[in-house]
Amino acid sequence: MIRLENIEKFFEHGTQKTYVLRRVTAEIKEGEFVSIMGPSGAGKSTLLHIIGMHDNAWSGEFHFSGQAVHRLKPKDRAELRNRNIGFVFQSYHLLDHLTVYENLEIPLSYRDIKRSDRESIVADTLDRFQIVGKKDLYPNQLSGGQQQLVGVARAVIASPRVILADEPTGNLHSSQGREIMQLFKRLNAEGTTIIQVTHSEENAAYSDRVIRLRDGWLVND
Ligand SMILES: Nc1ncnc2c1ncn2[C@@H]1O[C@H](COP(=O)(O)OP(=O)(O)OP(=O)(O)O)[C@@H](O)[C@H]1O
Ligand SMILES: [Mg+2]
């Protein structure tokens, strides 16, 4: 479902080029649950943002579900992303001017879902994540852990084919973290492809396979 070939990314400072990803080649099949691990600064978030089609400044080939992403126009990439991918950001990335309720509604707005159905899906999700009481608050009125929960809820709410999660439990209590991993495991059993970045061996144990990055290089697969 996801095929990466020689993905490279660098930043330029004056005349100096710093590579963040080097010739990354990997394949992730539909229905897999994969963890990306590696030291801080290895390029894990960078790689996840490329797969999530949030980053357009890279070279190489990226095939997603038969489509050549590297050849798509930004508008078509965004459409492909919005229809297929749920993303949990390392830094939550909730929209500050929208309430929790409104943040959760956004992914549903990309799908053809009736307004009344949208309302009930949001209500169910608020309930499932035990954040009903927070629905009218803005992100800056939530704790870090609560923002992370909303970020996970937003990523799964529209039942995407692929969930990409960057340290999805980093700010949660261990029991809440386990609940998120169990939720991912259940969604994966139902067919959702999941790629998570994690520093935690415990979280990685929920996945089928680990991809390791070091200084931008894939060290094994
Ligand atoms: N805008 C930028 N300009 C220059 N270098 C950058 C920029 N953004 C990221 N980098 C560099 O890219 C490298 C990889 O960053 P990335 O965020 O992918 O690491 P990571 O593996 O996710 O680390 P962590 O585990 O700490 O989240 C880092 O060395 C970082 O300094
Ligand atoms: Mg990171």
pLDDT by residue, tens only, the chain of 221 residues:
999 999 999 999 999 999 999 999 999 999 999 999 999 999 999 999 999 999 999 999 999 999 999 999 999 999 999 999 999 998 889 999 999 999 999 999 999 899 999 999 999 999 999 999 999 999 999 999 999 999 999 999 999 999 999 999 998 999 999 999 999 999 999 999 999 999 999 999 999 999 999 999 999 75
Q: What are phi and psi of 153, to 5 degrees?
A: -60, -45
- The fold for domain 2-220 equals Rossmann fold (3.40.50)
Query: At which residue do the structure tokens 């261990």 appear?
Result: 174
Atom of ligand 1 nearest to the CA of 199: 25
Cβ proximity of 207 and 192 under 8 Å:
no
Ligand 1, pocket-test mutation among 16, 44, 215, most atoms within 8 A of CB: 44
Based on C-alpha coordinates, what's the Rg of the chain? 17
Cβ proximity of 100 and 135 under 8 Å:
yes
> Residues lining ligand 1, judged by CB closer than 6 Å?
11, 20, 38, 40-46, 90
Residue 48 CA to chain centroid, in angstroms?
7
C-alpha 208/C-alpha 220 separation (Å) is: 14
Residues with CB under 5 A from ligand 2 (ion): 45, 90
Domain boundaries, the chain: 2-220
Residues 6+ apart with CB under 8 A from 20: 9, 10, 11, 43, 46, 216
C-alpha 132/C-alpha 151 separation (Å) is: 15
Give me the amino acid identity at 25.
T
**DSSP secondary structure letter of residue 143:** -
Atom of ligand 1 nearest to the CA of 49: 18
pTM: 0.94
